[in-house]
Structures are given as structure tokens and as C-alpha cells.
Structure 1
Amino acid sequence: MMDFATRVHNHNYRLDPIIRSLLDTDFYKFLMHQFIWMLYPKVPVTFSLINRTKTVRLAEIIPEAVLRAQLDHARTLTFRENELIWLAGNRFYGRRDIFRPEYIEYLRTFRLPDYKLETVDGQYVLTFEGDWAAVTMWEIYALAIVSELRSRIAMASLDKFELDILYAQTKTKIWNKIKKLKSYPDMRLAEFGTRRRHGFLWQEWVTDAMANELGRSFVGTSNALLAFKHSFEAIGTNSHELPMVFGCLADSDEVLKTAQYDVLAKWQEVYDGELLIILPDTFGMTQFLRDAPAWASKWTGMRMDSKEPVAAGEEVIAWYAMRGEDPRKKRAMFSDGLEVDLMIDLHQRFRG
């Protein structure tokens, strides 16, 4: 059993690395990374991590030297041989050949590129600039580092006894949620918390608890390292990043309009089957569905992420019906800020 109090107390050591493996990221990053590496590796991009909660002044909470130390450590990491073997040889979504041998060889020498860190009005502005295939992988590592550092600093003043009580209370909250979910054995859910996690060890404990207690309801985790360590199913397809970059590359309003569909057309040239999940809300779900090409309705399903989930689900059902498709044969994934009660409500409304 993990002794969280001792481990958190030990975070006061000179450097307790947050990112210890390049697998410690969302699985969809590898699917997107291969896609980018195959088709658009040298497209110049600039990504920035900006705190949208302005009342939380991160630069006044996290010392710059501490943040730099974690970012610099992440840049020293390379993929281990057994991690590459797992990516190359494991079965994902029923396939053992999702990752091309050439891509695995590319990963063998991959390292994270440099970064730029600035302080503006009490906030950090963390920027990554360069070739798309190099820069894209920073996303989840950077988010996890900032999120976990904030948690570490918030708990640094607590002694071991206080930490022990804190984790006992939090475990009880998690258990009460799991008990609720166990009442709905035909529900399917996955863990998707890497980017905003309290810490890797806590994420691992919660994911393991879900896997042990929820049985078939728990279908996997988005975290590739947890999937690797515990033989969980690795979950994920793609994110808003792809149509956003395609949109930035557009040189006219017409090209901008079709960019959200062009990226899906390219995606289905690289992947098929269970990976054909549409994320329709980068520029708004309603306009996406209204103007979507006929082949889009043939995809496996949709992930509803930004729109109010009940309204989104009903809109998608109506869209499939209008396109002559049976919505009951499609997969719906809800992923935005879900709490247990909302998960249960959505399951009861849309199951079947």
C-alpha cells in the first residue's frame, strides 16, 4: 500500500522529478505524434501554456527555479528500450501494428526541445516553438509539471500526520464515488486525468482502485505509463490541436472552413476502426455537424467535450438520424469536467 504521507513529505528533497518517463503522457499524444511526424513534421508552430484562472497567480506560488528544474529534467529523458517494445508490440484497439517501425526508431533518439519561460503580471507564460513533430510532445508533460508543483507547494507546510489525515479523507471521497459507480455495471468509463493531476502517485492509486473495484466498467486509462506498468488498456484518439493547427495554416476563409474536415480525411488515411472518433467542437459543434461531409457519419462515434453534454448528445443523435445512421450503433464519449452524478445522469439518458 502506498504511503502517500511519506512520499509527499519527501518532495522536499532537492529534486523529486515529476516526469520520470516519456510514457507519462496521454496515449493520444503518440497517435497524434505519429500522424504529425508522418505528414507534417516540419510545420513551424508555437504553443504556449497560459493559466486561464487569473486569480491563481502561479508565478507567486511556484518558484521559477523549481519550475525550471522540473522542465530541464524532462528534457534529459529518452524512451527506454522496454517502453519502445511496448509501443511497437502491444495490441492497441485490437491492433498490434498501430505504430510504424520507422516511427518507433524516430522515438529512440527523441528528446524534448527547449522552452521559453517568462513572468507576466504574476503568471508564467511557458512557450514552445519549433517543428511541430518536436514541439507537440511538450503539452502534457508541461501541464502535469505545473499542476503537480502547485499541489506540492500547497502541502509543503503540512507535517506527516496532517498529510496522513488528508489522504485518508480523500481516499474516503474516492471510495464513495466508486461505490456509486458500481451500481451501474453496464457503464463504461476511463481515467483521463494526467494533465490536471494532483500527482502521479495519486493518479496511479486512483486508477488502480477503479480497475480493481469497477471490473468491466473500467475500460482503461489515457496515461501511457500507467497502461504500460499495470497492463491497462491505453485509451485515446486525437484532440483539438490538429484542427487548430490546420486552421492556422489556412490561407483563405474557404480553406479555414474545410480545415476541420481535411484533418479528419487525413486521419482516416493513417488510422481506421476504433480510432475513427470525431471531436467536433474545435470551432463549434453545430456548424461542424451542419456542414460535415457524408463520410463523417460513417465513423465509429463522437467525443463530446465542450458543449453542454445533454444538449450535445441530443444534437448528435438527431444528426445521425438525419444522415440515415442508427445512433444506437455509434459510440458517444463524454469527457468535459464530469463528476459522478453527471456521469450517471448521462449514462441513464443515452445508454442503449
Structure 2
Amino acid sequence: MVDIATRVYNHKWKIDPIVRSLIDTDFYKLLMCQSVFRNRRDTNVTFSLINRTKSVRLADLVDEGELREQLDHVRGLSLARGESTWLRGNTFYGKRQMFRPDFMEFLEGLRLPPYHLEKNDGQYELTFEGRWPEVMLWEIPALAILMELRSRAELKDMGRFELQVLYARAMTRLWEKIGLLNGLQGLRIADFGTRRRHSYLWQDWAVQAMIEGLGDRFAGTSNCAIAMRRDIEAIGTNAHELPMVYAALARDDAELRRAPYDVLADWHEEHDGNLRIILPDTYGTDGFLQHAPDWLAGWTGIRIDSGDPVRGAETAIRWWRERGEDPREKLVIFSDGLDADKIVELHRQFHGRVKVSFGWGTLLTNDFRGLVPGNGLAPFSLVCKAVAANGRPTVKLSDNPAKATGPADEIERYRRVFGVEKQASQPVHV
């Protein structure tokens, strides 16, 4: 097992690039990229960094030269032969050859496109613009780089023994969380923590701890590089990015209302089984389910990623019953801001009523709260979103208005079109 503290101490010798592989990314990005490559490959999209936690002034903490060095390193990466073989030949979700030959040829020849970086009032403005299948693959490495550079900035003056104690305490904390989860009958949980991890090495350690501590109750990891390295399942389906871009391309309100379902119609043609998971909250879960076509009720399950998770699950259960489906045969994946105590609570409330699963993110791979003076390693909410498509702004409403993105006038238009009334705002910590 890697001595993380020593490797962190040695970062000052620049031996560790933060992103060391093009597949050091989330599995859902590759699945979505294949769908985009097939259906909307010529769409021009702009992605932009958004720091929701304004109190964390990244441009004051992270050296611009180091950031550029790490971003430039990623631009030089390409798919290694072993990685290509793994993607082409491995079985994902019980399906051989998940990735089509034409998409694999595209991916094997890909180099990530240029970036634009500026400083503004203590924050970095980092944007990526180009053809959608290319620029979308910047999201995860860009986030991982900034999160780890922030961690390195906080740790740079710590000595070797101080770092050993820090990581021992963090390991103990995570192992205690795993012990809490160990008592849950029928638990199914996956690592969703790539985008806001403390570091690559720490995420890899956390995955190993989950494998040992939970056994077959640990379903796998969203991180492709770690899944390949540890010979476990790569986990993921789709995300808000797809409906956000499809909606931005809509020519009128009628097309806008159809956009979230057009996304899933394209997905339906390409995937089956556990890949048919509905993510309903982009423009409000209630309205999405109310107007959903009948064929969506037959999909495998729903992922709940914003708002009150209990309300979201109860809404899904009620919807399935109204559509003549048995909720006990449906999968509900909770993935918003989870920690061990919340996982225990939700599992006890819904186990047996639905098939319950959890995507555990930031507080699995980046919980160093209170372990250094000033709480400088506490996780914060950093995202990289598609903000425009073919020159038109994108919008996300969410079931939590604190997560909404887009110009104010477009947000109001989307709320009108999708019938989203007043929502209860909840704090966004991670």
C-alpha cells in the first residue's frame, strides 16, 4: 500500500502529476460522450468553472503557474494501449463491447482541446470551448486538479511526521464510517468521489478501504482508472449535462419542454438494464415525472441528486405505483451530499420498499474537516458546468434552487415552461 504521507511530502519534488491518465475520469462521462458522439457531435459547447463556495478564494491559494502546468500535462495525455484494451474488451454492467468501434477510434485519437484561464477577484475563471464530445472530457480532470492543488497548498508547510499523523487520523475517520455502514443489511454503495477528491492517492486508498471493509456490498467506483487498476466495476450512467445542452438547443418552448425526454429517448436506443436510470431533477422532479412518457416508467430506476432525498424517493415510489409498476423492483440511487449517518438513515427508511443504492462522493474521498488548524482542508462546492451550447445559454434548475445555474431571465423562462413553482432552498456544502 502506498505511503500517502511520504508521497505528499515529496510533492514538492514534483514527482506526481495530479491527473495521470485520460481515464482518470468518471465512467458516466465516457458513456455520455459516446451518446453525444453519436447524436450531437458537431454541437459547440462551452464549459466553465463555478465555485459555489465564494469564501474559498482559489486564486489566492493555488499558484497559477502550477495550475497551468497540471492543465498542460492533461492536454498531453492520450489513451494508453492497456486502457484502450480495457474499454474495448471489458464487460460493463453485464454488457460486452459497451463502447462502439467508431467511438473508440475517436477516443484513441483524442487530445483535450485548449483552455482559457484568468484571475478575477480571488477566483479562477477557467473555460473550455469546442466540439461537445471533446470539451466535455475536461470537466472531471479540471475539478480534480483544482481540488488537489488546494489540498497541496494547505499541506505544503507540514513536515513528514505531521503529515503521517494527519493521514492516520483521516484513515481512522473513514474506517469508522465504514464500520458504521457495515451493519446495514442489503447495503449497496459505490464511490462517486472523483470530482471533489482530496487527491488521486487518497481516492484510491478510500476505494481499497471500501473493498476490504464492505466486501461485495461495495458495488464499485465511478473512476475508470481506479476501476481498471483494482479490477472492480466501473459505475455510472448519465448526468445533468445532457438535458442542459439539449434544452439550450431548443428552438421554442415546445421543444424545450420535450428536451429532457429527447435525451432519454436517445439513451434508450443505446442502453438497457441498469444503465436506464432516470435523473429527473434538472428542471424539477415533480414536473418531469408528471409529464413523462409511459415508457420511462419501465426503466430500472431513478437517481436522486438534489432537494429533500426522502421527498424525492417518496415521489418516485408514488409515480411508479400510479404507472402500474412495483416500486420494490425499482432502484433508487441517492447521490447528493451523503455521509455515513445519512446513508444509514435513508437505507433504514427505504430498504425493502425499493432497491436502495448510494453514490457516496465528497465526504468519502475528501473528509479532512477539522484535521488542520483553520479547517483549511474542509471540502467545498466546486463544479464545472456546460454554460452555453451553439451560443445559447444553458440552465439548470434542480430541486434545490441554491444549485440553479444560468442567466436570471432564462432561469425564469425555464421555471415557467417546466411549471416549477417556489422551491425550498437548502445549503450546498459539497
TM over 0.5: yes
The corresponding residue for 2:93 is 93
In structure 2, what is the equivalent of residue 113 of structure 1?
A: 113
1:185–1:217 CA contact under 8 A, matched in 2: no
Letter in 2 for 1:142: A
Q: Which residue of 2 aligns with 1:161?
A: 161
- 1:265 corresponding residue in structure 2: 265
Secondary structure in 2 matching 1:195: coil
Describe how 1:65-214 pairs up with structure 2 within 5 A: 65-214=65-214
Q: Which has the higher helix share?
A: 1
CA distance in 2, matches of 1:19, 1:144: 8
Take 1:275 and 1:39, find their aligned partners in 2: how far apart are those partners?
Answer: 18
For 1:35-50, list aligned pairs within 5 A. 35-50=35-50
* Inter-partner Cα distance in structure 2 for 1:117 and 1:197: 22
Task: Give the aligned residue type for 2:131.
Answer: D
User: Structure 2 counterpart of 1:7, which letter?
Assistant: R
* Local SS of the residue matching 2:31: helix
The 2-side partners of 1:77 and 1:282 are apart by 32
Distance of 1:155 and 1:297 partners within structure 2: 49
Instruction: Give the root-mean-square deviation of aligned CA atoms.
Output: 0.8
1:219-258 matches, within 5 Å, as 219-258=219-258
Identity level (%)? 54
Using the TM superposition, give the Cα deviation of residue 14 of structure 1 relative to its aligned residue in structure 2, in angstroms: 3.8
1:75 Cα deviation after fit:
0.2
1:15 shift after superposition: 5.8
CA deviation digits over 1:166-219, x for unaligned, max 9?
Answer: 001111101111111111141100001000000000100110110112012101
The offset of 1:25, in angstroms, is 0.3
**Rounded Cα–Cα distance in structure 1 between residues aligned with 2:185 and 2:196:** 27
In 2: Cα distance, 1:15 partner to 1:244 partner: 38
Counterpart in 2 of 1:12? 12
Q: Distance in 2 between matches of 1:58 and 1:153?
A: 10
Partner residue in 2 for 1:274: 274
SS at 1:48 equivalent:
strand
Q: Distance in 1 between matches of 2:113 and 2:324?
A: 47
Whole-Å separation in 2 of the counterparts to 1:343 and 1:89: 34
Q: Distance in 2 between matches of 1:20 and 1:68?
A: 15
Give deviations 1:212-245, integer Å, cap 9, x for gaps. Answer: 1201210100000010001110000000000000
Q: Is the 8 A contact 1:116 1:126 kept in 2?
A: yes
Q: Which has the higher contact order (CA 8 A, sep 6+)?
A: 2
Relative to the length of structure 1, the TM-score reads 0.99
Q: 1: distance between equivalents of 2:29 and 2:129? A: 17
- Could you tell me how far apart the structure 2 residues matched to 1:194 and 1:185 are? 27
| TM-score normalised by the chain length of structure 2 | 0.81
Query: Post-superposition shift, 1:107?
Result: 1.3
SS at match of 2:337: coil
Residue 165 of structure 2 aligns to a residue in which SS? Answer: helix
| 1:55 Cα offset (Å) | 0.9
In 1, the alpha carbon distance for the partners of 2:308 and 2:152 equals 33
One-letter amino acid of the structure 2 residue matched with residue 237 of structure 1: T
Q: Structure 2: where are the runs of 5+ without partners? A: 353-430
- Contact map agreement 1:285 1:307 (CA 8 A) in 2: no
User: Hey, what does 2:330 align to over in structure 1?
Assistant: 330
Match in the other structure for 1:31: 31
CA distance in 1 between partners of 2:145 and 2:89 (Å): 29
> Which residue is equivalent to 1:308?
308
